[in-house]
Amino acid sequence: MSQHPVPRFKGFPENDPAFTQIPEAFFTQLLEQINDLDQLRLLLYLFWQSGQYHDQVHYWRWGDLLADPALLNMLGSENRLQLALQELMAQDVVIRAEIEYLAETYYFLNTPQGRAAVVAIETGEWHTPQQDRQPAHLPDPTPNIFQLYEENIGVITPLMSEILKEDERTYPAPWIREAIQIAVTRNVRTWNYVQAILKRWHKEGHKNDQKRKDDSQDPERYRKSWLKNE
């Protein structure tokens, strides 16, 4: 596989309602104590996953963590995941309790809810759900234009790399993915064909274009909040 540039972050998407709540103590007390990237990544992952279970006690088993390929890919190996978890437990950021009759260890964030759950397990008041929950997994990262080209069209030459960079700057990522899919479906695996589709959409408009801008995401609405004396 050829080398290609690491894609630059294009900004958070419009109309994305998904936010992850992080306790203020993370910033005021804990963040300066974290000096390991794996530890930080795992903790942010646990915060994210906690938000996926709004009405349930947030717990993890070792198998839950291993079952998410995106987490393992992010940390690089099972051993690094284990070390990061051990570091979080050593700092009491993550706490655990053993459920002997299940021969299972449950991990919790050290929150009021997590501490109450550990006490419930230790005093025998914990009721394991009859139906095992399905752990939330991180969504697969969206492939960039270079990956899409290599997977669907062919090897990237230096000249093609420059063309792809320019097209990535010119056209929205969803357009590029859809145009490549159309080319693959029609068995016309050339970038000229993909470009022809993109140019037509750029000129005539895409059939799924959002015609009205969401006012709540319009930067112009907030100009006075960051431009003084306007």
Q: Residue 15 — pLDDT band, cuts 50, 70, 90?
A: low
CB 1 within 8 A of CB 150: yes
Assess whether pLDDT exceeds 50 at residue 32. Answer: yes
- pLDDT for the residue 92: 95
**pLDDT attached to residue 224:** 39
Mean pLDDT value across residues 200-214: 64
Query: What does the pLDDT average to over 122-131?
Result: 73
Q: For position 139, what pLDDT does the model report?
A: 56
* CB of 40 closer than 8 Å to CB of 80: no
pLDDT digits (tens, 9 = 90+) for 42-52: 999 999 888 77
In percent, the amount of the chain with pLDDT more than 90 equals 32
What pLDDT does 227 receive?
43
pLDDT at 121 over 60: yes
The yes-or-no verdict on residue 151 having pLDDT over 50 is yes
Q: What is the pLDDT of residues 57-101, one digit of tens each?
A: 778 899 989 988 888 988 989 999 999 999 999 999 999 999 888
Residues 104, 218: Cα–Cα separation, whole Å: 49
Which region among 99-108, 125-134, 146-155, 159-168 has the lowest average model confidence (pLDDT)? 125-134
For the chain, the first-to-last Cα distance in angstroms comes to: 52
Stated pTM of the model: 0.57
4 versus 107: which is more confidently predicted?
107
In the predicted model, what is the mean pLDDT of residues 214-220? Answer: 41
Find the helix or strand (DSSP H, E) in which 151 lies: helix 145-152
pLDDT band (50, 70, 90) for residue 13: low
196's tokens: 């022809």
Instruction: Return the pLDDT at 135.
Output: 56
Q: 28: pLDDT confidence band, cut at 50, 70 and 90?
A: very high
| pLDDT classification of 168: cutoffs 50, 70, 90 | confident
Half-sphere exposure at residue 195, Cβ-oriented, CA atoms within 13 angstroms: 11
Domains of the chain: 1-15+142-230 (1.10.10.630), 34-122 (1.10.10)
pLDDT grade for 225, boundaries at 50, 70 and 90: very low
Are 126 and 120 contacting, i.e. CB atoms less than 8 angstroms apart? yes
Percent of the chain with pLDDT over 70: 73
